[in-house]
A and B are shown apart, each in its own frame.
Chain A
Amino acid sequence: MPKPLSRLSEFLYRLSDAWLEFKRVKFGIAALILLVILISASLYVLVAWDYPKEVDRWLRIQLWVENPKTVPPCWFLSMTGTPIAETAAYSFTPGRPEISNESIEGTTFYEASIIHKAVVPAEIKSPGMPSDVRIKLIMNTLSEEAKKLEEEGLIFGFTEKYSLVIIRPDNLNFTLVHDASLSTLGNLTYPDTIVYYERFEQKIVKIQKSVSLKNIPKEHLKAVEELAQIYKDYNVTTDVIASALTELILSELTPEALKGEYKVLQGKYLFILTVNRTLIYDAANPVPELRSFISKVKDENPVREFKIYLLGNCFGFLGTDIFGRDVFKGVLLGVPWALIIGLSVAFLAIMIGAIYAVVAGYVGGYVEEVMLRVVDVINNLPALPLFIAIQAFIGLNIWGIIGLMVALYWTGPVLTIRAMVLQIKESTYIEAAKSIGAGPLRIIFRHILPQVLPYAFAIMALSVPSAILTEAGLSFLGLGDPKTPTWGKMLQETRTPNWDAAASGWWWWFIPPGLAIALVGTTFILLGRALETIYNPRLRKA
């Protein structure tokens, strides 16, 4: 007489049996390999990275300004034969202040002028054209303090002027900003940069800005006129020059450059920031506030930080989006969420549906009739319009969306599984179990449910993609969870009233997330089909 199997070995036996059957389905193996890749990718992301921190960093777009924007992947550029420009950052060296202090004849008044300079040496080493030049400034400003002193009558005519000049390797210089006031400098930040004034006792003491050369309004740039002067024989409008300003400043000024054939001028560039402060004060005035202010003007370097970023023309494996974020990183960040959404919705919905169906089928009678009516109603509910209505007013987070999908999707397998249960219910071993006094709960959970579970797993795999697609659709409509980096959210960002990645040709931004969705979906459908061919009683018969 054979020894009865222990529970573990019975399980292992069943598993190996299932594996033997599964192995015969070729596309099932392919799906399994894809699944292993997906799971290991998401484990890698979750374990090797500090996932919550990376997500937080991903969502805060202002942290990514130092990357080039909407540049293609590097391998693509080298494939098309375009020379590559690397992203590089350069810091400033402070210069000595030039001080002139002249007395005004016949009075005790002095006119002081103090010029502070900061120089950034930057170098272009490769023939690739940088996509942009980003200027980052942190400066102390004294204009607010001076205004107060002026009101008190201690100083007169205080001015603070800023100039920014580029000296090129061929010794041509271009003035970006010439003797601009604080407000003009503030205007430069429009439209994409971050300015924050550090307020201290209602005074602006610090300006921090990071401005991209391409985004400075051209009417502020003197360099446009200077370039127009150089090209005056070629009959070009300033608009043409303004639209290609960054490229022209960084390339050899040949006539071809006007037609868009730039040849990058390699070598050392100097970016010089000048802060010119002038004021008139009464040297005989002994007020300590005035003394300390004047020593501050003379000694304190206004430039705290001055950095130049030569932004490259390509980035990483999948390029960057419009905020300078690494697209490949975004796709990787989305892997765990896609699996969580798909698997949890599928698992919960199908388990609920399977148990419901087994109970309905087993109990029968009026109870079954009522239970099936409920299923009929939920089956007829249009899912997406309801999701949209709920999300538009309530705005659930990602777990709420998952719960909502479970609430509407659980009826999917009920009718099929119930039909299976009706068959199983009549089989002799159920009768045997009943005859030895097994209760209905025991029969349902020990004898019927395990019979329908393999089929339920097949349905489960098949319903993973629809959960992912629904979430992506909601996100695309702007109704997703804004704090979750799903692929749908990435795709939503590619298409706004202000930009359209498809129209601008930024394929590296909008193709990968959708491809990832399609990959996950295909994996689970193949897996589900494989399980179905093994376990679906209808297909097996045929």
Chain B
Amino acid sequence: MGYARFVALRTINLMIVLLIVLIIIIALFEGVLKSVTIYEIKTNVRQEILAEKKQYKMNPPFEEVWSYITEIRDEYSKMYPKAWLDLKSSVYNSVFDETKNETLANYITQLIEKDFDELSEKEKEILRTYLTKGDVPWSVKVAHETTLLIIGMGLHRPWYANIPFYLKKIFFLELRSNFLTSEIWNQGSRNVRDIIAEKIPYSILLFTTSTVIALSIALPLGIFVASRAGKIIDNAVALSAIISSSLPWWWFAMIMIYVFAYQLKILRSPADLPSWSDPLDVLHFMILPVMTIVILTVGTDTYVIRNIVISTLQEDFVTTARAKGLKERDVLLKHVLRAAAPPIVTILMLSIAMSFVSGAIITEVVFNWRGLGRLYYNAIYGKDVPVILGLTYISTFIYLAVRLILDLIYGFLDPRIKAG
């Protein structure tokens, strides 16, 4: 009962955090999101209209074009003032493309501001000629349809009114990238979900492999060092923990690459990309990154385990166990480790989660590792806004999910919480 309540509380808590992060993202990038969405709508509408144009082979009559214009001018521009500006600029651009005459384009843009009945016969004639010429009516139609869709989706409202819309869009990653495409599963897809999803397994593969290896070294070492507090090996572990937490991982990665791949030439260089479908090749490629991350994390992990074990050793039940005459080995393995497991698991899992949201992910860039970090790098360099937004959301999501799992495990391992 207590555990269920604890689980529910933690879940709600982290959901709130995720919601807040998403709302912060939306508040910050509403302008970008909106322009990305509108751009998408516009592209779709333009394609449809182009298809229509091909089908009919004849331009729509002037009355139809004029009704689109007046509709936007008189009705929609009240709700969404930008629609009118967009229409005017698209009329201007298309007339200019048609005639290459700046003055004429300007003149027509001014004419469509007026009521049709107020115009002189000559002005009416000019409008009749140019608004039905070439691409002009089609671009008016595109602007009209786009405005209809934008207003239909409610995008003309202020940002806070659209939070649910954007929440859904980001939550299910219904975004389209600017230029990055997916490489593995759904090749060539510009769906942000495809692009990001295919990279996650690679990041997880790299960081969990490294953490598991680091942990299998750190656990025995930490227990060993704990029994030797204050000795040289203890100080060495502390120092290595300090140094590895104060240097940029990606810089250390560069040194590892320099030494092992280019100077000693015993490990594969990151420039020599593997064929990603061949597991053995990927494994070979992975040796250097995993080695680097293990070296960087093993000191800190050992130090953390040592601290936890030492503080557990000072508990009364250890004294009791020793007083009962238990062997030191049994005291350590059966009593101390059992009590120290929850904090150890917490901190180490947290370090995996942290690697997704800390500088560790940048290490992937240096190693040319096809994960989220490298995708981040590519998206930033290409200014691919939707991908960056999607990555921000996904890394937050992973981070929070791991924290939640962690809480659940912690609650499961710690009888005090389990009992409520």
Contacts and interface: CB of A to CB of B under 8 A. Distances in A.
Contacts of A389: 25, 28-29, 388-389, 392
Given A393-B385, A470-B359, A505-B262, A385 B396 contact: yes
Nearest to B393: A385
Interface in B313-361: 314, 356-359, 361
Interface stretch (B59-67, B244-252, B273-281): B244-252
B21 interface: yes
B407 to A, nearest CB: 11
A19 B392 CA distance: 46
B247 A514 contact: yes
A393 B32 contact: yes
B382 to A, nearest CB: 11
Given A505-B263, A507-B258, A491 B248 contact: yes
B376 A477 contact: yes
B357 A385 contact: yes
B265 to A, nearest CB: 12
B388 A388 contact: yes
A491 B251 contact: yes
Interface in B217-254: 242-243, 245-248, 250-252, 254
A478 interface: yes
B79 interface: no
Contacts of A106: none
A370 interface: no
B282 interface: no
A377 B388 contact: no
A469 B248 CA distance: 6
A503 interface: yes
A359 interface: no
A37 interface: no
A542 B314 contact: yes
Decide if the interface of chain A is mainly helix, strand, loop or mixed: helix
A529 B238 CA distance: 11
B143 interface: no
A501 B28 CA distance: 37
A113 to B, nearest CB: 49
Nearest to A380: B17
B230 to A, nearest CB: 12
A388 B396 CA distance: 12
Given A476-B362, A510-B254, A503 B269 contact: yes
B396 A517 contact: no
Nearest to A465: B246
B291 interface: no
Contacts of A491: 248, 250-251, 254
Chain B interface residue bracket vs A: 35 or more
Contacts of A469: 246-248, 359
Interface in B1-58: 13-14, 16-17, 20-21, 24-25, 28-29, 32
B196 interface: no
Contacts of B178: none
B258 A381 contact: no
A518 B379 CA distance: 28
A81 to B, nearest CB: 19
B226 to A, nearest CB: 14
Contacts of A511: 255
A465 B244 CA distance: 11
B403 A380 contact: yes
A510 B399 contact: no
Contact of B399 (A382, A477, A507): A382
B124 interface: no
The interface centre, meaning the residue of A393, A491, A495, A542 with most chain B CB atoms within 10 A of its CB, is: A393
Nearest to A523: B246
B271 interface: yes
Contacts of B153: none
Given A380-B403, A385-B395, A525-B245, A477 B362 contact: yes
A10 interface: no
Interface string A461-483: 00001000110110011110000
Interface in A491-515: 491, 494-495, 500-503, 505, 507, 510-511, 513-514
Given A491-B251, A503-B262, A514-B255, A384 B25 contact: no
B215 interface: no
Given A376-B13, A477-B377, A514-B254, 11 more contacts: A376-B17, A383-B358, A384-B357, A388-B388, A390-B28, A392-B380, A393-B385, A488-B248, A491-B251, A500-B271, A517-B248
A-B residue pairs, 7 tightest by C-beta:
A521-B246, A514-B251, A382-B357, A518-B247, A473-B359, A502-B258, A380-B17
18 contacts: A376-B13, A382-B357, A383-B358, A384-B357, A384-B361, A392-B383, A393-B29, A393-B32, A472-B359, A477-B380, A478-B381, A491-B250, A502-B254, A514-B251, A514-B252, A521-B245, A521-B247, A525-B242
